[in-house]
Amino acid sequence: MNMKVKILRKKNPGSESYWETFAYNGPENNSIAGVLDYLNYHDDPVNVQGKVSDRITWECSCLQGECGACAMVINGVPALACETFLRDLKGSEIVLQPLRKFPVVCDLAVDRSSMQENLKKTNAYIGDYIPSPGEDHTHQYNAAKCLKCGLCLEVCPNYVNGNTFYGAAFANDCYLIYARNKDKAGDIRKVYGEHFAAGCSKSLSCVDVCPVGIPTLASMAKLNR
């Protein structure tokens, strides 16, 4: 398979971004994670100008869609690199960019710590589980699957890193707390209202992009009730 892989790179947080293109001649059944691995380790990475380049930095851990590390923008679409396959991409060029809503650390790796910080500063934790009748365990299970990958924030028209609207990942954690500890229901609905409901324009792009299929709309419906 002969493809071009164009990557928006950056050496460190303080440096300028630049584009660099590589030729990919590896297996055609690869995922984007496999492509990056191939470019990095099949041989020394040589760009299309024939110059040996630094290996491409990107985050990975599980390589099977369970940890959220490899979220990036692939041909303009935010997705997990390990779950995006060449067979599903059109054209002979792949364009890779880091998530745009977060500060870039290096190349395709970004700093998503604001997601954790937002949850921390709003006291978003369950405390003690208090069972209640008629619990929707299935939805609780789904909400608890959130990878904190940041894809929902990347596509959200309302989310700006550093602002007071915290996005879908926050809303789903709020739902989980609300559902598991009724004693915290009042407090958590208050911060949910302040940091999610007040700013959500219901584009629901977060639902479509979620790699684990969390039905955020159901979380919102339960919290808005």
Partner 1 sequence: MNEHGKILIIGSGIAGMSCAVRCAELGLHVQMVSPYPSERSQSVMASGGINAVLGLPGEDDTIASHIEDTLKGGSYLGGEKAVTGLCESASDIIAWLEKIGTVFSRDSSGTVSRRAFGGQSHKRTCYCGAATGKQIVTALVMECREMEVKGLVERLTGRHFYSALIEDGKCYGALLFNQNTNTLETVYANALIMATGGQNALFGKTTGSTLCDGYAIGQLFRQGAELKNLEFIQFHPTTLETSQKKMMITEAVRGEGGRLFYELDGKRIWFMEDKYGPNGNLMTRDIVAREISAAPSQVYLDISFLDPDIIDTRLSEVRDLCAKYRNIDIKKEPIPVTPSVHFFMGGLAVHMNHETNIRNLFAIGECASMYHGANRLGGNSLLSAIHSARITAEALSECSFPDTVPDFSAYTEAQKKKLTSFTNTESNFPVSYIRDMTAEIMQKHMGIIRDDDSLNKGLEEIDYCMKISSHLKFDSSVNTYLNYSMESILILAKATLLAARARCESRGAHWRSDFPDTDPSQQYADIISYDNGAYSIRLDREHEYES
Which residues of the shown chain bind partner 1 in the complex (CB under 8 A)?
13, 27, 29-31, 33-34, 37, 40-41, 44-45, 53-55, 57, 59-69, 82-83, 105, 112-113, 116, 119-120, 123-129, 137, 140-141, 144-148, 173, 176-177, 180-181
Q: How far is the CB of 67 from partner 1 (least distance, A)?
A: 5
Closest by alpha carbon to 178, among 224, 147, 214, 117? 224
- Closest approach, Cβ 148 to partner 1, in A, equals 5
Whether the Cβ atoms of residue 101 and residue 150 lie closer than 8 Å to each other: yes
d(CA 19, CA 8): 5
Which residue type, as a one-letter code, is found at position 57?
T
The least CB distance from residue 123 to partner 1, in Å, is: 6
DSSP 3-state of 187: helix
Q: Tell me how far apart the alpha carbons of residues 92 and 73 are, in angstroms, rounded to a whole number.
A: 17
CA distances for 101 relative to 70, 80, 82, 186, 196, angstroms: 15, 15, 20, 30, 17
Taking the complex as a whole, the smallest distance from the CB of residue 202 to partner 1 amounts, in Å, to: 25
State the minimum distance, in angstroms, from the CB of residue 193 to partner 1.
Answer: 20
Minimum CB–partner distance for residue 24 and partner 1 (Å): 13
- CA torsion through residues 19, 14, 169, 155, sign: negative
Give the Cα separation of 91 and 205 in Å (integer): 25
Residue closer to partner 1 by CB (options 25, 203) is 25
Retrieve residue 61's tokens: 């851990």
| Closer residue to partner 1 in complex, CB, 133/157 | 133
